[in-house]
Structures are given as structure tokens and as C-alpha cells.
Structure 1
Amino acid sequence: MRSLCPWVQCRGAVVAASLALVSAGITFSVAAEITYAAEGSLPPAIVAADLEYNGRVVVGGDPVTVKIATPNKNGAMTFQGTAGQRINLGFSSVSLTQFQVSVYGPDGSLIARQPTAVKNYYATMGTRPLSSQTQVQTSATAYQFTADSGATISSSEMNGSSIDLVELPATGAYTIFFDPLSTYTGSFTITVSHELEGAIVPQGSAVPVTISRAGQNARYTFSGNSGQAVSLQLSDVTIRSGYVSILKPDGSPLGQPTSFAHAGAVVDAQVLPTSGTYVVLIDPELSYTGNVKLALYNAPDLLGNIMIDQMTVTPTLTVPGQRALYTFNASAGQWVNLGLTGVSIASSTLSLLKPDGSKLASTTIGSSGGSLDPAMALPETGAYTIVVDPVGNNTGSMTLALSSPVTGTLALDGAPVTLSLNKPGKTARYTFNGNAGQWVSLGLTAVGLTSSSISLLDQSGTSLASTTVGTAGGALEISNPLPTTGAYTVLVRPGGPYTGNMTLTLSTEVSDSLKINAAPRPIMISRAGQSGRYTFSGTANQQITIKATNNKFDSVAVNLYTPSGVLQAGATSSASNFNLNTVTLATTDTYTITINPALAETGSIQLQVVGQ
């Protein structure tokens, strides 16, 4: 396409040249002169004298490169449009730093843009959700529709950009106006297309879609009935990224648009609110092109009930986008856990919804199964819902087991307690009363669970300490004394769908004081998981050595801490006799020696503080 002088002057030049040739005796036939739609009738908002570029483009024709080399000059381009057409403008190879684009109709009025799928959703469905990262809520005005097609294109968009117009209101000549910001100059390539159109049938054959033109969208329609549930699968995707959405007969979004990339995507089952013609809209981002295959399914959600501590349920999801929803009744303050076994779905999201439909907890599992463990008790009495939602195109089945935790009490320095977790996903919550300043430890023995996490929770549910153990057992060692007087909870959660037993032994530390250069002190640790804590008074600049003798543990850690709790010396050993490195005490104060047997060992050792 050429840069032209204003059309009236060019047309005059053509006519004058024709008359001159005729007068010279040269005759010829002109099949069509070079003309442009709406020649001589630019919209009132466009000043002909300000145009450096004035050209024409054909809808569905070749892309056209526009160049504006003079500061403070504009460009215009016309195309013939038909009433009801949906036009997409694609911009690529942009070197013009920044410019605004507006489209005028045959009557000179501005043509509105069709908002993107995301903007359309948020403009019609309410305010944008809070960002999980910043907790900043975008103003709803950012998603309001504009009355005109004005949009800013920038060369900083390395992969191009696009503008979608609403249905053209009339047949005739349309004008695209390019207005560089500031004194910017440069060029760009524009591709003017009408949306791809076609039809798709629920449970019919998959439909391949090829979008080969920059900025182009694809619109596929289907007939739906009120109450019908449909899901949509995108596969064989070569478009770099974009959005797919389902539009209701009135043009509003049926649900939140779904982003897609090369891995494909699935629009989960949606219930159609009314009978009529629905639209599947494919909207590539920027100016991306490529292929996608669409498959539309009748995919009603599987619905059912599940009961706490009763029979399991096994949903089988056979088409992409299908979900399973199971409800149960529960009371405020109840704790529940969900075990997931026999999983053939490669990846799924499991959610627990409160009676008002908001999410209480969620997790993602693979084919190895797992569990959903809410971090809090159920907040209200009512009907709760478990949602099984396969990720992407996955289908398959799994078995759900809903349980309440095993509960009980522990006594500090009391008898060991054996708990049994005999159902996948089942947990245990044991409570005990502790006093502020107490040092406690928990022994974990006779463990039949392949893997478990053990946590100590305070009154608010905050974890004070945690560890993971296997069948070898071990201990939960708390690095600080209990912060307040009150009830504490030991939480046992199997890793994955494991079941089995475990014995808990809750103990206070063996403790006393030592004197420098006194005889070795025998220390007996007789309870699984128990540790020792001994203190001594030291003087600034004094050199001391901690000596361990007659060690009966297979492995034990002996550490020396400063008054502020900083590790000053330490050793882990299985030797009968060993020493910690000699240290110089920094201040006159009380120092601490800790004794921590490996795993849940019991035994004895002798300690001596030797000063110089």
C-alpha cells in the first residue's frame, strides 16, 4: 500500500493526465481507476491535511504496512464492512513507539471495541478479585466498557497487539485512524480480519480451528438447553497463549474465561441457564496465531452424599471438565479429614467448600493419592461440599474416605498412648495441659505408618514444632519452652493415604544443675523421646571443657549453649567417652548443656564440666 496525497488531489491528477493523453490523440480504455472507499468523505474528526498516510485495506486480505515518517502527522485507512460483521485488527512489526487507534463508521461516528474475554467477564460479573500476592483490589472502572474503539498500541509489545470491534452497525466504508503520540514516528503492519465462524456440537466430533491471521478470533456456536451441563476441552494447541470463554445467548460470559497455552486447557462443567445459541470464543493474546482443537461435552457434575466415618465413595469422571461434588452435614467445631486412594486421575484439585460455597481448604493430588487436611475446625453448622476437579484434560476415578480425627489426651510424664489410624486420610489430635516455661519432648515409637508428620500446636493452632517420621520412629523436639499456660495439641498426619499405629510418649526434660570441676554426673533418660537439660554457672574468660563418659546410647548429641541460647560447642557421638571443644566463656552467667539421644533411644551418660 502506498502513502498517498489527499485523495481529492490525487484523483484530480489522474483525470488531468487522462485528458492530456486524449488530446494528444492517444486513446485507451480504463477498466477501473484507483479509488478508495469513502474517498473525499473523511470523518469530521480527521483533518485531511494532517494525514501523511491514507490507504485502503481489504477485510480478509493481505496485511498492509503503514509508515508515518513525519512528526505530528497521522494516518488513515478505509475498508468496506458489512452490517453484523465482527472485525479483528491485528498489529505486528510495530516500530512506531506509541499510537492511538480509532475506528469510524460510515456515518462518521466512533465504533466501540469489543472488550476482551477477561475484561468482559469482570465488567459484567462484578469487581476483580483481590490479588493473592498484593491484596490490592483493582478499581472496577478499569473493566468498564468504553463507548469508542480508542486503543493505544505500543512498540514495547514485542509480540504485537490486537483490537476487536463490536458487530458493525451498517454496511459501508469504515475508517481506521492512526494518531501517533508525542512526535513519534515509525511503522507497523495491520491485518484486518473477520472472526472465524463455525459450529460445534456437544458430544460431537472435535473441531480443528486454525487461526492464521494476526489478531483474529474464532467464534463457534452451539445450541444448548436450560439445565444442560457442558464442558470444553482444548487440545493440540500451537497458539502461544490466549483465552477461551463460553458466551450466553445474550453475549455475556457464562463463567470466568480460561487461559490456555500449548498444554491445552479445559473449561469445567457449566450449567446452561437458558435455552438458546451459545458461543465458544477463542481469543489469542497479542497477535499470536496457530491451531487448536475444540471438543464440547455433555458433562453434568456427579452429585452425591458422603458421611463422616461411614462408607467410602468412588466417583468416576469420564469426560474432560467433569467434576464430582459430594455433600455432608457437620457441626461447627468439628474436625474432618479426607483420604484419597485408588486414584487413576493424573492430577486433581480437591476442595472443601463451606455452606455458603466459599473455599475452606484445597489441595492437589496425583495418582499416588493423598489427603485433604483442613487447618481449622469447621466454622459453622450446615452442609459442606467436597469438589473433585481433575486438572486439565485428565479423567479417571478415585475413592474418597471422610473421617473425623482420633482424639484423646496425653499426660506429661504419664503413660505412653498408642493411637491407631485405620482409614486413609484419618489424623489424630491429642491434647495436654502445659505450663509456661516448661520444656517438653515427644517420643514416637512402634510406628506402623510409612510416613507421618507430627506437629505441636498452641491454643491458636499455630505450630510450635514439627517433624516427619517413618517406621523407625523418632522424637519431636521443641526448641523453646512452652510460651503460655494452657492446652496444647499434638497433631499426627499420615503422609499420603498411609494407615497404621504409633505410640506417643510425652515427657518433660530431665534437668538439674552441675558444678564446674565436680565429679561426673550420671544422667538417666528412661522415656522414649526424652531429652536432658543441665545448667552450670560460669565466669567470664573462664575456659571450660564438657566431658562425656560412660555413654550407653547408640548415638547422642551433647551441646553447650550461651546464656542467650547461641550454640557454643557440640558433638554427636556413639563413643563411650568424648569431649566437646574447649571454649572460653564470654560472660559471668548461667550456661546450658543439652542431651538429645537419637530417635527415641533411652539410656545413660555421665557429664562433667571441667574448668581451667
Structure 2
Amino acid sequence: MTLNIAAAGQFGLIQFDATAGRRLAAQVTASSFGSAVQILGPDASVLGSTSASVGSFADTAVITQAGTYSVFIAPGGNSPTGSITIKLVDVPPDLTGAITVGGGPVSLTTAGAGQNASLTFTGTANERISLSTQASACSWTVTLLGPDKRGQIYSGGFCGTGTLFTDVLVLPQAGTYTILFDPSGAFTGTATFTLYDVPPDLTGTLTAGGGTVPMTTTAPGQNMSLTFSGTANQSISLTTEASGFSCWDMKVLQPGGTTQFYSTQYCGGGMFFTDVLILPSSGTYTILINPSSFQTGTLKFTLYNVPPDATGTLTPGGSATAVTTTAPGQNMTLTFNGTANQRINLTTQNSGFSCWDMKVLQPDGTTQFYSTSYCGGGTFFTDVLVLPLSGTYTVKINPGSFQVGTLTLTLFNVPPDASATISPGGSAVSLTTTVPGQNFSLTFTGAANQRVSLLTQPSGLYCWNTTIVQPNGTSQVYGRSDCGSGTFFSDILVLPVAGTYTIQLNPSGVYTGSVTFNLYDVPADASATVTPGGGTVSLTTTAPGQNIGLTFAGAANERVSLLTQVSGGLNCLTLTVLQPNGTTQVYNNNNCGSSWFTDVLTLPVAGTYAIALNPSSTSTGTAAFTLYDVPQDTAGTTTIGQVAANYDVTVPGQAIQVTFTGTASQSVTVSVGRVSSTPSGACYNITTKKPDGSTLRGDGSCNNGYSSGSLTLPTSGTYTVVVDPTSTSIGTFSVGVSTP
């Protein structure tokens, strides 16, 4: 029934007659406002209630006597007016059944909204049980009632598909217990119950430094308890290896049995490790393990007696020191003497550890000077560290997890960075490092807007960072990271201010070696003007980083093509043709070789265009540019069966376009002949286009003659044969269309 409430302050009332014994529920199927909905008895007592949100459900009301009942709607919230649709449904009797402790699962399926379910079982005093419930409702509650049906042993709610698990429950007395299952809303479906007979918790004894103790649970809710003897200030660590459990809780209790010494929650398979624990007093400690959820499985416990930290002494510039741990939780402590402003670095070579943490403490033993966490094998390297004051420093290493192994540590005394001066346009400068952590540093004097480029050639290094820092000592003009061998080139750099610049190269890892630096003084780009249809223009670069630029005047829709020929060391280059706005590209290509050709380019606007050629790396040499003024393609018309006619291409980039009319399903053959060409034997591309401009067939040929073979025309209309000589080729070509 739908009820409309037109004015604020009004209430809604729906009345209905019901007979004794009837079970009813009210469901809101549509609502435009917020309100409370109640089912009222003949005496106005509340039998059930819910909100006015769509889908809400007033749980089952049992009609105890015949009479007139009401559904009362009290609008509220920000929308006190509107409409609401309420549906009254008959609720079937609750489902009942029996379940056995330690027996199989029992499933009950509700058939109507508001229907609940209950199961009974017989239990004895102090019996240990646990219950798992699986259902697909969004929200439901499970309640366990004692034999008197009044006292709750357990009550829990769950939302979502999955399993609700009670954990272990101890029954207070013998008798018949009841499990109540109450879905919320209009849910119908199946709930599956499993009642477990939980044996006593597993117990065992561990010995520090002894063997592994496995424990296996056989029923959900069964826990584990282990004891071990320890002495005050004893260092121990504990590992567990899980099989079957996803999560569990651990507590370690002091000898009194109540004070908690250690606790954790762990989820995941494999190994868990406590790290080192120092026992506060002598006596018997207890480890309690509570597996989560309804899983059973095995935990293997190993209790280690952790010896004092493995120790050693390091000397800057001295030999390597190997330190080995023998028990999980054992750490490493090493010391070394240093002086204020001394430059050191520390390398470690790992065997047996996957991860570890390192701290370097100042001579006061507490202030942290350096720290890191590292995972991986091989060699770790701190890079150069500058000691803040004189005294004895302490290196502390905490291996991750339960692993033992060896770290070999070497402390290097790092000399000042290898340094020199270099001059733009001057001779190459070579520098060599002798100790890991030592860097390279060069300075040079530069003027504002001076153009330079840098070439580095490393030997013996693996990876490194290169920066060029401005005279203020902080702002970078250039920065990059490189790995490998060969040469590395910065390309052109424009210095923003006058002053002394610094080139810094920082090798990574423990590598030492040599680097040769070349700093070039780059003149202005080689430039000139070129004219479409005019002669060839040649320009030469003299320093790495110098580019080539040409300009030309062009008209809108003018057709040009460009031939570029390089020599004298130029190899790989980037060629760009820019529109008059200086940014939009008409053409861009990267090429390695002695010459390349753009093919025809149609200029979009009138103005001055720019040709930019950027040589890669350090190459210099000469580039010759020929800019052609390309006339319109040579055009012609033929008919099917007409004798082939000759057509001329006079400028590189020009093509031939010959049209013919055909009908759908007609078969034709396109023939092209190379009558003469410059150079002789020129290659050419042949494309036959449909009336809509798409390609019917495309081929390339370097022969004197070409035949397409039989072509079936898909539609009626005008077809076009395009003959386009490759590169800068020109000449005379014949074109004909015939019937196969």
C-alpha cells in the first residue's frame, strides 16, 4: 500500500485485521522521505519497527490475538512530506533442527522474509565447543542460549558472505543448548552450521638452544601452550613455522603466569621471528598461541639462546673484518676511531642474510650519525661519510628475520675528491679515483650565455651521476645518470651567468677508475638562408654541440622537398622543419646515413620557415641542403583499353596522377613503364586508389615495366593511378589501363 503525506506534521496510519497465530513483517519498498515505521497491536503496543529507507524491514511480529492492527508512519528528518509504499508479508514458521557436537555440518534454508532458524544440541558441563556459521546474507546474528533459554553463552553479528567463528566456548552445565540464527532484512537463503568438539589445548615444553617442537591442532578453537625456563637477562629469540594457519595471536607470560612479557599478531605463511628478547626475571615462561578463525594446522617452535653481539674492530684504510652470527637474533657491533672531518666510507659483503639494518653512532654512543636498511646480496656501499667529531664510533647491524650468516666489512679512508680545472675549448683532462667514495670534481670559468658541451669517457666505473653546478654552488645547469662504457655527451648547454662552474661526477658502488673530460666551447649555430628551387647550400660545424640552421620564405600551400647530404664525420642527426611560429613542426625525422630526402611537403601558411639539423653526440662535419620548389603532380586522364601515354616528373618530390572511369566488378590491369630516369634505373611506387581515396592496390618497382595483374573494381566511379618516383628520382613514365 502507498501512503501520501502532504503536510508537515502529519502522520500516516495503515490499519489491517489479523487473526491470532499469524506471523507478519513490514517491508518498505519505496520511500521519498525519512521516517520511523512501527507495527502496533490493538492496544497500541509496538510489535516491530524499522526506518523508512527503501529495503528496510520490520522484523517478525507474532499476532497473539485477533483484532485490528496498525502500521504507524512518523515522518522526520529534512523531508517531512512525501510518499511511502509498505508491503505486509506473511512469515513462515522458524526453521528448527538438531546438530551434534563433533558431527557434520547442518544446513538450513529460509524460504520467506523474516524467517529465522534454530538448532539444538546436547552438551555436558565444562565441555569445550566452537561453532562456525556460513551464510550469504549481508547481516545476521548468531546467539547461543543455555538450557534455561534465558542466559546467553555467546552472541555475535556478521555482515557479508563468509564464516563467523565463535572461538572456543566452555559450556557451564549439562543440558540442551539452542543456537539462534536471525538474518536481518528480507534475506532468504542457506546457513550452514558446524559444531566442533574442542579437545584440551595442546601443551609442550621448549628449551632455549634445544630442538624444534611441532604442535598440531585437530579442531577449530583449540589453542597451544608451551613453557620454557629462563634466567634474568637471558637473551632469547623464537621462530615459528606455520602450516595451515593464516593468522594467530601470541603472548609470552612472565613466570607469575599473568604479566605479559611479549605479544604479537601475525598473518601470513612461512616463518615468524620475534627478534631478540631479554628475559626480565628467572623462572618458567609460558607461550600462548591462539589461532584465528576456524583453521587447524601445525606450528613448529624453535627457541634460541642468543649469545652476545658478535663484535669487531675496524680501521679506516685497514683490512676487511668478517663478523659471523651463530643464532637468530644475534646482532653485530663494531667500533672504529675517527677524527673530525675525516672522510670515510663503509662497504659490506653479505653471506647468508637477506636484509639487515645498520646504524653508525657518534662517540657519545647514542647520537645516530648514519642509518640504513638494506635487502639483497652482494656488496653494500655507504658512499662517502664525513665524521662530525673525533672519537670512537660504533657500527650496529641487526640482521633481519631469523637468518644467520657473515658480513665482511671494509672501512675506507677516503682522500679528497680527484680535482682539476678545465677550459672550454681547451685540452681534455683525465682524473683517477683510488678509493670507493672518492668523486671527481672539475671547475671552469664561464661567461653569461656562453655555449659549452661536455664529453665524458669513463673507464672502470659501472654507474655514476654527472652534474654541472652554477657559481652559486647549488643550482644545476646539467644533471644525468649513466651506466656502461663508451662516451657520454651533454649536448649544448647555455651558461646562465658569469662565474666559476663545477663539474661533479659521483661513481656509484665500490668502483674506482678514470674519467676523461672534454669541455667544448661551442660557437653559434652554423646558419644561412636557402631558396626553394635555388642552389645547394652547405654549412659546416666545428665543435660538438654546434647545430645547423637555415631559413626560407614560403607561401601558403607551396610544395617543397628537401635533400640533405652529410659528410666529414656527421652520422646520426635529427632534422626538423618548423613553421613560421617557431614551434609547430612541418617535418621531423631521425636518420643515420649520408643522405636523406623528405619527399614533398605542403606548407600550411605563408612566412619564414626554419630548417634545424642537430647532430648526435660529438660528430662534426658538413651538411649540404637542396630545397626543391615542387610543382603540382603531373595529371592525366585515360580510358580502359587506351594506349599508354607518357608523363614527366621534373622535380624531386613530384608525382604522376592519372584517372580513369570504371564500373563495379570490372577487371582491369594497370601498367607503368619507366621510359627514362635520373638516375637511370630509378625506383618508383605505384598506388591504385578507389573513388573514395582508399588504396585498391599498392606496389613498388625498380624494373623498366610494371603490371598490377588483374584488379576487380569494387565500385563504379573514378579511379586514380599514382606513380611516385622514390627519393630524388625524376624522369618520364608511361601509364595505361587495360582489360586483362
Scaled by the length of structure 1, what TM-score is found?
0.64
CA 1:204–1:333: 2 relative to 1, 3 Å: same
Report deviation, 1:205.
0.6
CA 1:570–1:182: 2 relative to 1, 3 Å: same
1:492 equivalent to 2:606? Answer no
The answer on whether the counterparts of 2:526 and 2:541 sit within 8 Å (CA) in structure 1 is no
The answer on whether the counterparts of 1:306 and 1:327 sit within 8 Å (CA) in structure 2 is yes
Per the alignment, in what secondary structure is the counterpart of residue 539 of structure 2? Answer: strand
Report deviation, 1:52.
3.7
Q: Identify unmatched segments of 5+ residues in structure 2.
A: 1-198, 639-643
The structure, 1 or 2, with the larger RCO (C-alpha pairs under 8 Å, 6+ apart) is 1
Which stretch of structure 1 is more off in the superposition, 426-435 or 222-231? 426-435
Alignment of 1:98-109 (within 5 A): 98-100=247-249
Report deviation, 1:396.
0.8
Residue 428 of structure 1 corresponds to 547
Residue 648 of structure 2 corresponds to 522
Residue 35 of structure 1 corresponds to none
1:182 equivalent to 2:297? Answer no
The answer on whether the counterparts of 1:229 and 1:301 sit within 8 Å (CA) in structure 2 is no
The answer on whether the counterparts of 2:686 and 2:699 sit within 8 Å (CA) in structure 1 is yes
**C-alpha distance in structure 1 between counterparts of 2:450 and 2:688, whole Å:** 43
CA 1:325–1:592: 2 relative to 1, 3 Å: farther
CA 1:97–1:293: 2 relative to 1, 3 Å: same
**C-alpha distance in structure 1 between counterparts of 2:587 and 2:647, whole Å:** 31
Alignment of 1:186-201 (within 5 A): 186-190=298-302, 192=304, 193=306, 195-201=309-315
Residue 31 of structure 1 corresponds to none
**1:266 aligned to which of 348, 368, 381:** 381
The residue identity in structure 2 corresponding to 1:67 is M
The answer on whether the counterparts of 1:242 and 1:282 sit within 8 Å (CA) in structure 2 is no
The residue identity in structure 1 corresponding to 2:314 is I
The answer on whether the counterparts of 1:317 and 1:396 sit within 8 Å (CA) in structure 2 is yes
The answer on whether the counterparts of 2:560 and 2:630 sit within 8 Å (CA) in structure 1 is no
The answer on whether the counterparts of 1:206 and 1:296 sit within 8 Å (CA) in structure 2 is yes
1:324 equivalent to 2:440? Answer yes
The answer on whether the counterparts of 1:444 and 1:502 sit within 8 Å (CA) in structure 2 is no
The answer on whether the counterparts of 2:340 and 2:388 sit within 8 Å (CA) in structure 1 is yes
Alignment of 1:568-583 (within 5 A): 569-578=697-706
Report deviation, 1:176.
6.3
Which stretch of structure 1 is more off in the superposition, 454-463 or 65-74? 454-463
Residue 445 of structure 1 corresponds to 565
Report deviation, 1:154.
1.6
Alignment of 1:159-178 (within 5 A): 160=271, 162-164=273-275, 178=289
| Cα offsets for 1:251-291 (capped at 9, x unmatched) | 647365454324x3433223334555545555656555544
**C-alpha distance in structure 1 between counterparts of 2:410 and 2:346, whole Å:** 6
1:545 equivalent to 2:670? Answer yes
Scaled by the length of structure 2, what TM-score is found?
0.54
Q: Identify unmatched segments of 5+ residues in structure 1.
A: 1-48, 112-147
The answer on whether the counterparts of 1:451 and 1:469 sit within 8 Å (CA) in structure 2 is yes
| Cα offsets for 1:79-127 (capped at 9, x unmatched) | 7587697x7665557653333556778998888xxxxxxxxxxxxxxxx
CA 1:83–1:451: 2 relative to 1, 3 Å: farther
Alignment of 1:222-261 (within 5 A): 222-235=336-349, 237-239=350-352, 241-242=354-355, 245-249=358-362, 250=366, 252=368, 254=370, 257-261=373-377
Q: Which has the larger radius of gyration?
A: 2
Residue 371 of structure 1 corresponds to 489
1:596 equivalent to 2:710? Answer no
Alignment of 1:398-413 (within 5 A): 398-403=515-520, 407-409=525-527, 411=529, 413=532
Report deviation, 1:505.
1.9
Report deviation, 1:340.
1.9
Per the alignment, in what secondary structure is the counterpart of residue 402 of structure 1? Answer: strand
Residue 124 of structure 1 corresponds to none
Report deviation, 1:238.
3.9
The answer on whether the counterparts of 2:467 and 2:505 sit within 8 Å (CA) in structure 1 is no
**C-alpha distance in structure 1 between counterparts of 2:608 and 2:331, whole Å:** 63
The residue identity in structure 1 corresponding to 2:436 is P
The answer on whether the counterparts of 2:439 and 2:506 sit within 8 Å (CA) in structure 1 is yes
| Cα offsets for 1:220-267 (capped at 9, x unmatched) | 3433444332223344x44474356453434647365454324x3433
**C-alpha distance in structure 2 between counterparts of 1:255 and 1:315, whole Å:** 31
CA 1:275–1:92: 2 relative to 1, 3 Å: farther
The answer on whether the counterparts of 2:599 and 2:653 sit within 8 Å (CA) in structure 1 is no
**C-alpha distance in structure 1 between counterparts of 2:240 and 2:503, whole Å:** 46
| Cα offsets for 1:368-426 (capped at 9, x unmatched) | 2232448x978999987644233443221011223465623364546433333545xx4
The answer on whether the counterparts of 2:357 and 2:400 sit within 8 Å (CA) in structure 1 is no
The residue identity in structure 2 corresponding to 1:575 is N
**C-alpha distance in structure 1 between counterparts of 2:501 and 2:200, whole Å:** 66
The answer on whether the counterparts of 1:338 and 1:400 sit within 8 Å (CA) in structure 2 is yes
**C-alpha distance in structure 2 between counterparts of 1:493 and 1:466, whole Å:** 12
**C-alpha distance in structure 1 between counterparts of 2:420 and 2:597, whole Å:** 40
Residue 178 of structure 2 corresponds to none
| Cα offsets for 1:113-148 (capped at 9, x unmatched) | xxxxxxxxxxxxxxxxxxxxxxxxxxxxxxxxxxx9
> Which has the larger strand fraction?
2
The residue identity in structure 2 corresponding to 1:396 is G
CA 1:574–1:178: 2 relative to 1, 3 Å: same
The residue identity in structure 2 corresponding to 1:201 is T
1:510 equivalent to 2:630? Answer yes
Alignment of 1:45-194 (within 5 A): 52-53=202-203, 55-58=205-208, 61-62=209-210, 64-69=212-217, 71-72=220-221, 73-75=223-225, 80=230, 96-100=245-249, 150=264, 152-155=266-269, 160=271, 162-164=273-275, 178-184=289-295, 185-190=297-302, 192=304, 193=306
The answer on whether the counterparts of 1:570 and 1:581 sit within 8 Å (CA) in structure 2 is no
**1:396 aligned to which of 492, 513, 535:** 513
Residue 480 of structure 2 corresponds to 362
Residue 9 of structure 2 corresponds to none
| Cα offsets for 1:287-343 (capped at 9, x unmatched) | 5554443222122444555554444332212223332244667789877543123x3
The answer on whether the counterparts of 2:559 and 2:630 sit within 8 Å (CA) in structure 1 is no
The answer on whether the counterparts of 2:647 and 2:735 sit within 8 Å (CA) in structure 1 is no
The answer on whether the counterparts of 2:466 and 2:503 sit within 8 Å (CA) in structure 1 is yes
**C-alpha distance in structure 2 between counterparts of 1:431 and 1:179, whole Å:** 81
| Cα offsets for 1:157-192 (capped at 9, x unmatched) | 5xx454546x95967678766543323432145464
Which stretch of structure 1 is more off in the superposition, 284-293 or 311-320? 284-293
**C-alpha distance in structure 1 between counterparts of 2:252 and 2:244, whole Å:** 21
The residue identity in structure 1 corresponding to 2:299 is S
CA 1:244–1:50: 2 relative to 1, 3 Å: same
The answer on whether the counterparts of 1:101 and 1:153 sit within 8 Å (CA) in structure 2 is no
Residue 352 of structure 1 corresponds to 467
CA RMSD of aligned residues (A): 5.0
**C-alpha distance in structure 2 between counterparts of 1:481 and 1:79, whole Å:** 92
Report deviation, 1:209.
3.8
**2:540 aligned to which of 393, 412, 419:** 419
**C-alpha distance in structure 2 between counterparts of 1:439 and 1:205, whole Å:** 74
Residue 687 of structure 2 corresponds to 560
Residue 501 of structure 1 corresponds to 621
> Which has the larger helix fraction?
1
**C-alpha distance in structure 1 between counterparts of 2:334 and 2:542, whole Å:** 52
**C-alpha distance in structure 1 between counterparts of 2:396 and 2:574, whole Å:** 49
CA 1:603–1:594: 2 relative to 1, 3 Å: closer
Residue 338 of structure 1 corresponds to 454
Aligned residue pairs, count: 503
